[in-house]
Amino acid sequence: MQLLPGKFMLNAQTACWLSHDSLRSDWEIFQQDIRQATGFSLPISTHLPARHVIALHIFSKPDSLLGSEGYRLTVTPEKIDLAANTRTGIFYGLQTLLQLLPPQVESHELVKGIAWTIPCVQIVDYPRFHWRGLMLDVSRHFFTKQEVEAYIDEMARFKFNVFHWHLSDDNGWRIEIKGLPRLTSVGAWRVSRTGDFGTFAPPQPGEPADDRGYYTQDDIREVVAFAAKRHITILPEIDVPAHSLALIAAYPNLSCTGLPYAVNPGSPFYRILDNVLCTGKDSTYLILDTIFAQIARLFPGPYIHVGGDEAYKGFWAQDPRDQAVMQQNGLHTLEELQGYFERRVEQIILAHGKKMIGWDEILEGGLAPEAAVMSWRGIQGGIAAAKLHHDVVMSPWGHCYLDLYQGDPLVEPKTYGMLRLDSCYFYEPVPPGVDSSYILGIQGNLWAEHVPNLRHAEYMTWPRALAIAEVGWTPAAEKNWDDFIARVEALFPRFDAQEIKYATSMYQPIIQPVRDSLTAELEVKLRTQVANLQVYYSFDGTNPDYFYPAYQGKPLRFPKGATTLRVVSYRGKQQMSPVIAISVDELQRRLGNY
Ligand code: ACM
């Protein structure tokens, strides 16, 4: 990007010109995005005016630098020229143009008294990876069609192009399948529980299942079209053979035990209830054929995600049908039995004209011949698959799981693990020694056990997904943390104007207990991810502010009698984090655990 002197003034007289009528839908999204705040309708002009115009061109002779997603954007005081090889490139250029307008452009209400200026720039922009995804789990908690669309709409702002829709799990089946009515009449319903998912009481005898949610096929088509307009492909996931309790609740004969189960409401059940499809029953493959046939028709993207993760195989070990499959096919381990299952599932997927992708466990028993792998347990699965010349999407939990804590658990809503913004940002998706052509890209995953509503989904997603977006888009050599943070901070007022929730956890002091190497005495180091912050602290039980002692880099020791350390970050006189109060006991516990 080159910033040039001057600016373009957008006003009600600004016209738009399209080189191809096919760009109309892309322009309309931009029009919609700015209409509420500006009140401008910005009509399409049939001739190309010399001034006051936003001109969108598809190159007649492809620009080899830009590829299929890049664009060139030139803003002068007279006109805006946006050119690309494809509609997708034009759409991304329009997202950039939107970002160049003042933050108030994102408001849902008419904003008066603002000059809608765009700085003069010359931008040439194209992505590093072609797979830039986010996953939303709609099984653990259901998100309505409108909520999913809102999520997708925000993804488009940051040039994500894959929305991975986790449509089934133990806690709810979320998609209508014709001819299998119990999937939604039973599988989409569970007893209501509120609070700490995973610790809930199991369904009680006679308790009605009244917490429901699923998408009709019309809903699915609508969301697919909504995403397609934003150049986002939807990757549907049906998670088998495990994570299948909702499917098994609907059709109990599919499991090894055949026992009747309720859809799980977030109570402990793993290894106790049989949430795994039996590999030795024809009905398993018949129902998957029916399901995947319809999924293949509903979703135009090239891939179907078949899950494959975390299959507890204890029921297979005891079931004569599964054991017979192993004997007949010369399989020696239960992992090989899963491999056999995955190969049969791949045949189904291929027969319906799609490619299969699964979590990295599908490698364990021998990878299906054409399957792509989503590496989540770390990067080893991705490395192994790439070395076998299979395509890989990198989504290691330690860098990409958006359901993890992003700040100190003492001041964040309960979840598990830790993934601070910098751990997302500094992730490099191509492991050393791996042929980068097999690394399709990167994906952030938002599992929803602890995400009961859209506001919290937004909070967990932003800003960490901005880091994922940048890892997916920007050449590794161009990444710059301080510059990224400055741009994240410039986006916060835009999220505010849009009324999108986001986390400011990146400003929190990071508390690191250590033991003095000589005396083994507890000491505390403090740091921040973001530069230009000062951390203040207290031991006296009161809340520190910028009049308190400032942390200078020397580890702190608890004064005699003190039991709690309180820390807070400031930028100048502005408080940037909540006060975090941590006890000696908690510090000792973390020393043991981390
Ligand atoms: C997963 O997180 N179980 C894919």
What is the per-residue pLDDT for 224?
99
What is the per-residue pLDDT for 517?
87
For residues 158 and 74, membership in a common domain is answered with: no
Which residues carry out catalysis? 169, 243, 310
Q: Is residue 553 part of a domain?
A: yes
Residue with tokens 């820390």, as numbered in its chain: 567
Ligand 1 atom at minimal distance to the Cα of residue 445:
2
For residues 144 and 192, membership in a common domain is answered with: yes
For residues 79 and 177, membership in a common domain is answered with: no
For the chain, what is the domain count?
3
Helices 145-157 and 87-100 pack at an angle, to 10 degrees, of 80
Amino acid at 126: Y
For residues 317 and 254, membership in a common domain is answered with: yes
For residues 439 and 520, membership in a common domain is answered with: no
**Could you tell me the distance, in angstroms and rounded to a whole number, from the CA of residue 309 to the centre of ligand 1?**
6
For residues 249 and 349, membership in a common domain is answered with: yes
CATH number, position 70: 3.30.379.10
Residue pair 157/230 in contact (Cβ under 8 Å)? The answer is no
Going 547 to 552 to 558 to 561, the CA torsion angle's sign is negative
Q: Is residue 532 part of a domain?
A: yes
Torsion of CA 349, 142, 215, 312, to 10 degrees: 30
For residues 270 and 173, membership in a common domain is answered with: yes
- Residue stretches of the chain with pLDDT short of 50: 594
For residues 73 and 204, membership in a common domain is answered with: no
CA distances for 72 relative to 58, 66, 98, angstroms = 11, 8, 15
For residues 197 and 327, membership in a common domain is answered with: yes
Q: Which of 153, 37, 24, 148 is nearest to 90 (CA)?
A: 24
Other beta carbons within 10 Å of 283: 12
What is the per-residue pLDDT for 594?
45
**Could you tell me the distance, in angstroms and rounded to a whole number, from the CA of residue 227 to the centre of ligand 1?**
24
| Residue nearest ligand 1's atom 3 by CA | 309
CATH number, position 542: 2.60.40
Q: Which of 125, 141, 157 is the last residue of a domain?
A: 125
| Cis peptide leading into residue 369 (ω within 30°) | no
For residues 169 and 292, membership in a common domain is answered with: yes
Ligand 1 atom at minimal distance to the Cα of residue 243:
3
Q: Which of 102, 125, 148 is the last residue of a domain?
A: 125
Ligand 1 atom at minimal distance to the Cα of residue 447:
2
For residues 40 and 172, membership in a common domain is answered with: no
Q: How far apart are CA 333 and CA 326, in angstroms?
A: 8
For residues 270 and 147, membership in a common domain is answered with: yes
Residue pair 438/418 in contact (Cβ under 8 Å)? The answer is no
DSSP state of 267: -
Q: Is residue 395 part of a domain?
A: no
**Could you tell me the distance, in angstroms and rounded to a whole number, from the CA of residue 461 to the centre of ligand 1?**
17
What is the per-residue pLDDT for 460?
99
Residue ranges in 352-433 assigned as alpha helix (H): 380-387, 397-400, 421-425
Q: Is residue 383 part of a domain?
A: no
**Could you tell me the distance, in angstroms and rounded to a whole number, from the CA of residue 376 to the centre of ligand 1?**
6
Q: Which of 463, 498, 533 is the last residue of a domain?
A: 498
Ligand 1 atom at minimal distance to the Cα of residue 307:
4
Rg of the chain on CA atoms, in Å: 26
What is the per-residue pLDDT for 593?
54
**Could you tell me the distance, in angstroms and rounded to a whole number, from the CA of residue 134 to the centre of ligand 1?**
14
Q: Is residue 426 part of a domain?
A: no
| Residue nearest ligand 1's atom 2 by CA | 376
- List pocket residues of ligand 1, CB cut-off 6 Å: 309-310, 359, 376
Q: Is residue 391 part of a domain?
A: no
Other beta carbons within 10 Å of 486: 12
Amino acid at 146: Q
What is the per-residue pLDDT for 442?
98
Domain span holding position 43: 2-125
Residues whose CB is less than 8 angstroms from the CB of residue 60 and which lie 6 or more positions away in sequence, other chains included: none
Residue ranges in 477-557 assigned as alpha helix (H): 481-498
